[in-house]
Amino acid sequence: MEAYCMMWKYIMLHCTATPAERVLTREDIDRYHRERGFREIGYHFIIHQDGRVEEGRALSQAGAHCKGWNYTAIGVAYIGGTDKQGNPKDTRTEAQKEAIVRLIEGLKSLFAIKRVLGHNEVSAKACPCYDVSVEN
């Protein structure tokens, strides 16, 4: 993880709004975002169920994850966020929770992050399906 850009003031947490058991790859998310009209994956980082952190969009580029925040917030999404019926639910595994904390700490060491937010704090969405302000 290299520090390319000093515009980052926030970290915004998201979920993929998929059942926790569903395996998604970076390529799956990239394909979905392109189908929605993005030029590539919108998130900067993806957190897999096993805690593996995968880079998405380069930190040298604005994200495409939350209108009005893409130039100042690093987009981080964990795989999951719904139950089997598609209802919002905090489905983060312990490995995902630990990976999110480590990633946030790493990003804070690179950038002057003012705040970590959940997508639901700035948009009428359930995402990331937990209260980010309690944990970060």
Catalytic residues: 14, 43, 119, 125, 127
The DSSP-derived string for 31-47 is HHHHHTT-SS---SEEE
Q: How many residues does the chain have?
A: 136
Task: Please give the Cα distance from 59 to 71 (Å, whole number).
Answer: 10
Which H/E stretch holds residue 115?
strand 115-118
Establish how many alpha carbons lie within 13 A of residue 122's alpha carbon, considering only the half-sphere containing its beta carbon: 18
Instruction: State in Å, rounded, how far the first CA of the chain is from the last one.
Output: 21
